[in-house]
Amino acid sequence: MKPKLLLVGGALAAAALGADPSVVARGEKEEARSCIACHSLRIVHSQRLSKAAWGRELDKMAGWGTKVEDRDALVEYLATNFGDDKAPQPPALTRDGSQQKK
């Protein structure tokens, strides 16, 4: 009985702390492996989507032939870093077309 209680406690703590960093790290690797064949990552990182919307986005990419092995980790990574609660990404270029300074 005791170990079970500990497990439940651990899961609650993980939920309170947000995404598991090791899962998020796996998701980043998955992105590097499966999301750069057709477009740059800027098109990905400039989005701000909910977790459910990232799932739909991956379904859409799958329809175009994208093979994702570690889907759950990728969704976790995307929702953690590019969630709809994050500030929008500034544009890459300024009005005169020069690179935006960081």
Q: Which residues bind ligand HEC (CB under 6 A)?
A: 34-35, 37-39, 43-44, 47, 57-58, 60-61, 64-66, 68
Q: Which two tokens mark 42? A: 């800027």
Q: Which is nearer to ligand HEC, 20 or 46 (CB)?
A: 46
Least Å distance between CB 102 and ligand HEC? 22
Q: Which is nearer to ligand HEC, 12 or 40 (CB)?
A: 40
Distances (CA, A) of 99 to 9, 40, 94, 95: 48, 17, 6, 9
